[in-house]
Structure 1
Amino acid sequence: MKDSNSDFRDFLSMLQSEGELLRIKQDVSAEFELAAVTAKLDGKQAVLFEKVRKSKIKVACNVVGTPKKFYLAIAGSRKVGQMDIRKAIHSRIAEALSRLAEPAKAQGGAPFENNSSRNLQDLPIVTHFEKDAGPFVTSSVVFAKDQEKGNQNQSTHRLLRLDDRHMVIRMVEGRHLHKCFTYARDHGEDLKVAIAIGVHPAVSIAAAYQAAYGVDEMLIANSLLDGKLVLAKANYSQLYVPSHAEIVLEGRIIKDRTQEEWMVEMLRTYDFKRKQPVFELERIRFRDNAIYHDILPGHAEHRLLMGLPVEAKMFDYIKNVVPTTQAVHLTDGGSNWLVAVIQIKKRLEGEPKNALMAAFSAHPSLKMATVVDNDIDLTDPVAVEYAIATRCQADRDFIIMPNAKGSSLDPSSDQVNLLTTKVGIDATASLLKAKEGFEIARIPGEEKTRLSDYV
């Protein structure tokens, strides 16, 4: 019997049963209109566009655009209970990482083998913003053989459609797919890849986790799916991809051909123009009544898919350095990527600075981090600002690190050399002063008082 939440369309059905999916039957254009409607639903319901102009394929957006939907994707039968939703996500990812297991391999044909094409125009690839270089695939999980380590690598990359058979693929220099590509190129070869679109969100989350080089992210995905992930071998590339994928593209990244590309990224600013390698399509395969997944760049689904797995990774890393770490939060103002707040139960002077150094090590793109006490709500920017204002002296509590490796997305940085200045802030109360001086005043009974009893 097929599991009720083991692929992309099953997850959409679950969202519908939860009242979290909006179906739009009106005909929409993949050029700007679809993105505009999705933007209106940012941080709200998922949306399924049932009729997209010039395509026979439906498009789903905003699929895990809230922490609740994100948790539903990896929770299985688990309930949040009284736990904060972000802590529940961190806990679930940590649990999955502790129980890695190989996915099963499909014995028969995969559903995506039912249909095929050799024309990228058959896909409803979306043009999102007015100054984008063109239509971009934004939800793709790219699979490649890591010849150096001997296993597969999976990661998420944007692809700009150029024509019927070619796309430009953005690979961050030094990241895992780029290593696979440079290894192949240095040996005079193109890199064969398979690209999955419309996978269960747990697969996308695993691909975004930034596991250590050589770790197969599908083990993480399988664990997040409680061992229900099944892989199928793609014919051309001989790579194993999720058998449930709605759409699978196979081809090669050409070793000696590049093209300029740019688009809006997580910060909702345009990434700068750069030449990137070109992907050449061999074949598209897709399920009956396939559903394409589009992620609106810079909006909630994009930021949460990238940020929450890294947030969980940071929490584990920092907690190993400062065991009393309570929580880690990548802020909305930092696009869930550049700015973090770390909550600790401080025992010793110096612990906040150790936590800061651990945070910057765990997440190299991080630009600014603040450490607060456990009586400060780290998700409330006003509370964090209050901690900086009342518990911090800049001359002793600010750490400034110039010329550190940073994010290529930050327009204020040296984007070519990936250099930025990082700032760490210790906004915890000094243990060398009387704690009463930092106590936040409370009114007895305020929490239980209901204004409706008096007016």
Structure 2
Amino acid sequence: MANSSNNNNGGDLRSYLELLEKEGELVRIKKPVSTKFELAAVVSKFDSKQAVLFEKVKEGGKISTVASNVCGTPGRFYMATSSAKSAPKGIAETKKAIRSRVSEALAGMSAPLKTQEGKALFEQNSSRNLNDLPIVTHFEKDAGAFATASVVFAKDGERRNQNSSTHRLLRLDEKHMAIRMVEGRHLHKCYTYAKEHGEDLKVAIAVGVHPAVSIAAAYQAAYGVDEMMIANALLEGKLKLAKTGYSQLYVPNHSEIIIEGRILKDRVQEEWMVEMLRTYDFKRKQPVFELEKLSFRDGAIYHDILPGYAEHRLLMGLPVEAKMYDYVKSVVPTTQAVHLTDGGSNWLSAVIQIKKRLEGEPKNAIMAAFAAHPSLKMATVVDDDIDPTDAVAVEYAVATRCQADRGFVVIPNAKGSSLDPSSDQQNLLTTKVGIDATATILKPKERFEIARIPGEDEINVSDYASNKIK
């Protein structure tokens, strides 16, 4: 791995990868691999396991090192948001710690240091050819090679504030990429304002940043909030921004790669991609980005996210979980946890854990969850003795504590996710369901008590059995 002694006091991708390697969370791949399918296939084998660093990709151009699955587990996600070297034990406790860190960052947002003097780290090398990047083709029916870990910086022409958000880009040729933008989201608002005023939108795209920057860019902050203030809080004030030459935008000084150019006001390109559900999205016409300059550090590390796999889902889902928790807790104060499930691709299905006081509270929690995360399709509410991260325990709660005629809430023709292939994707309509899987308080609590064996947690099986226990 390239030397990181110059790395913004440790707040860069390189220092994070070094930490992962020390903790046994990183695997190096020395064998040359192709960016067409082979790299993605290797990463898929490490899904929810170690991060992967490819030291030599075959079609890399001037950049041939690729990192992937960087935040592919809740534990590594937590390490990216905290100075702690390891996460708490258990998914539920880790997610609780992540939620706490995100809440602390939102409460303690601070402006990063901005510098205009001297060369930024990413200005050590330059190019004007997108083929110098090891952009990956992931799936057999992909429209082409997609840059998937791209944090896009733009300025809102109306308010003059800077916005950052994560977008995938399809390489069309050496100068152009189609950029996926969701209508109504912040970058699309910036683009629409520029287009209405007859202008292209200048942008700077960072690839290869500290994961805290990616996490902040994925957080659905209110319009007008500079996400880099969240990133700076997550990095405990260590984030340093540098002003780019062409777009005049402030981007992380430690960025491995900066791609500058403009989103053209009058050109679109049809594209399609694999989304969080690991299904192909329908074809959409999206705006086209035109390259002005490509800048990169010595020994630059390109970051690739495998669409639909754990890193993609966690980077999108965990910040939303934190937002949902705050919203639901404001409605039901005894809310203990909100968990976007793996089975719902960390996006469509949630389990909400509450300490129930009144019969109507679970339904209030369900409605609050749908309001907080409009893409949510299913919300299940469980008691505080049910682990929301344990799918078997949640199913047990539905099976033993729910009666469908009283516990199910069905909401037809509601706004949902365009990603769900079973929904009306063109009109964004879906049927949502909420499940009250909490024990009724109209019966004695003992009727629902799960039997326990005293001392069970303290038993070490190896003290009792001489042969190896499977």
TM range, smaller chain: over 0.9
Distance 1:85 1:77 in 2: 12
Is structure 2 residue 73 aligned with structure 1 residue 66?
A: yes
Q: 1:53-452 counterparts in 2 under 5 A?
A: 53-55=58-60, 56-57=62-63, 58-77=65-84, 80=87, 84-106=93-115, 107-452=117-462
Given that 1:20 and 1:45 are in contact with CA atoms closer than 8 Å, whether structure 2 keeps it comes out as: yes
Select between 420-429 and 125-134 the one with higher mean Cα deviation.
420-429
Name the count of aligned residue pairs.
455
Distance 2:20 2:452 in 1: 41
Is structure 2 residue 48 aligned with structure 1 residue 38?
A: no
Query: CA 1:244–1:453 in structure 2 vs 1: closer, same or farther (change >3 Å)?
Result: closer
Secondary structure at the aligned position of 2:450 is classed as: coil
Secondary structure at the aligned position of 2:298 is classed as: coil
Question: In structure 2, what is the equivalent of residue 12 of structure 1?
Answer: 17
Query: CA 1:324–1:416 in structure 2 vs 1: closer, same or farther (change >3 Å)?
Result: same
CA shift, 1:231, in A, is: 0.6
Distance 1:78 1:352 in 2: 37
Distance 1:78 1:410 in 2: 37
CA shift, 1:453, in A, is: 4.5
Secondary structure at the aligned position of 1:139 is classed as: strand
Distance 1:342 1:289 in 2: 45
Distance 1:77 1:20 in 2: 14
Structure 2 unaligned residues grouped into runs of 5+: 1-5, 466-470
Distance 2:125 2:39 in 1: 25
Distance 1:450 1:111 in 2: 52
Question: In structure 2, what is the equivalent of residue 51 of structure 1?
Answer: 56
CA shift, 1:310, in A, is: 0.7
Given that 1:5 and 1:14 are in contact with CA atoms closer than 8 Å, whether structure 2 keeps it comes out as: no
C-alpha offsets along residues 310-353 of structure 1, whole Å, 9 cap, x if unaligned? 11111111111111110110000001111000000011111111
Structure 1 unaligned residues grouped into runs of 5+: none
C-alpha offsets along residues 165-214 of structure 1, whole Å, 9 cap, x if unaligned? 00000001111111111111111111111100000000000011110111
Distance 2:297 2:172 in 1: 24
Given that 2:148 and 2:168 are in contact with CA atoms closer than 8 Å, whether structure 1 keeps it comes out as: yes
Indicate the percent of aligned positions where both proteins have the same amino acid. Answer: 75
CA shift, 1:129, in A, is: 0.3
Distance 1:227 1:38 in 2: 32
Select between 169-178 and 444-453 the one with higher mean Cα deviation.
444-453
Distance 2:416 2:205 in 1: 28
CA shift, 1:252, in A, is: 0.8
Matched letter for residue 402 of structure 1: P
Distance 1:223 1:20 in 2: 24
Given that 2:375 and 2:417 are in contact with CA atoms closer than 8 Å, whether structure 1 keeps it comes out as: yes
Secondary structure at the aligned position of 2:149 is classed as: coil
Distance 2:8 2:293 in 1: 29
Select between 441-450 and 370-379 the one with higher mean Cα deviation.
441-450
Given that 1:168 and 1:261 are in contact with CA atoms closer than 8 Å, whether structure 2 keeps it comes out as: yes
Matched letter for residue 58 of structure 2: R
Secondary structure at the aligned position of 2:231 is classed as: helix
Secondary structure at the aligned position of 1:326 is classed as: strand
Matched letter for residue 263 of structure 1: M
Select between 275-284 and 438-447 the one with higher mean Cα deviation.
438-447
Matched letter for residue 323 of structure 1: P
CA shift, 1:4, in A, is: 5.0
Given that 2:9 and 2:238 are in contact with CA atoms closer than 8 Å, whether structure 1 keeps it comes out as: no
Matched letter for residue 11 of structure 1: Y
Given that 1:370 and 1:424 are in contact with CA atoms closer than 8 Å, whether structure 2 keeps it comes out as: yes
Query: CA 1:454–1:112 in structure 2 vs 1: closer, same or farther (change >3 Å)?
Result: closer
Query: CA 1:453–1:76 in structure 2 vs 1: closer, same or farther (change >3 Å)?
Result: closer
Given that 1:326 and 1:344 are in contact with CA atoms closer than 8 Å, whether structure 2 keeps it comes out as: yes
Distance 1:397 1:29 in 2: 51
Secondary structure at the aligned position of 1:245 is classed as: coil
Distance 2:51 2:87 in 1: 20
C-alpha offsets along residues 269-307 of structure 1, whole Å, 9 cap, x if unaligned? 011111111111111011111110000001111111111
CA RMSD of aligned residues (A): 1.4
